[in-house]
Amino acid sequence: MAIRKILRYPDERLREIAKPVDEVTDEIRQLVEDMAETMYDAPGVGLAATQIGVIKRIFVIDVASDDEPSDLRVFINPEILELDGSQNWSEGCLSFPGVSEEIKRAERVKVRAVGADGKPFELEADGLLAVAIQHENDHLDGVLMIDKLSAIKKRMMGRKLAKATA
């Protein structure tokens, strides 16, 4: 396993649209392990492959609290099937270190993906897991949380990011 370098905004590679994974190979499973280790080291609750410069449709999420056992979830070639309701959530992002913003997302999500075992699955989620799925799936489409903000909030976020990384 290896900790990978996380790309930071405004790196243009974060805007690349990820390509589907043809087959879950040992190389893909190793990538997933590296992504999980990188996410835990950061620390964060989710990481998309595009955030480490790998343009593949993969993300990992673990929304377990510090006092709970790990609950790593792997999503390969995810497809959002349904979005329902609305919620505002204070989101952070490993590509925007030290910054969080309130983002409007669907309250519930249904997603289809392939796991690290190569088997397809469907999952319905709400709360933080639903937010994380939407956030990481956006990364695979080259969409960043700053894109969800008004012009004023974008400027404020830019200032926060400059202070946080100074």
Catalogue the active-site residues. Answer: 136
SS (H, E, C) the chain: CCCCCCCCCCCHHHHCCCECCCCCCHHHHHHHHHHHHHHHHCCCCEEEHHHHCCCECEEEECCCCCCCCCCCEEEEEEEEEEEECCEEEEEEECCEEEEEEEEEECCEEEEEEECCCCCEEEEEEEHHHHHHHHHHHHHHCCCCHHHHCCHHHHHHHHHHHHHHHC
Find the length of the chain. Answer: 166
Q: ∠82-44-103 over CA atoms, to 5°?
A: 50
Report the distance separating Cα 113 and Cα 119, nearest Å.
8
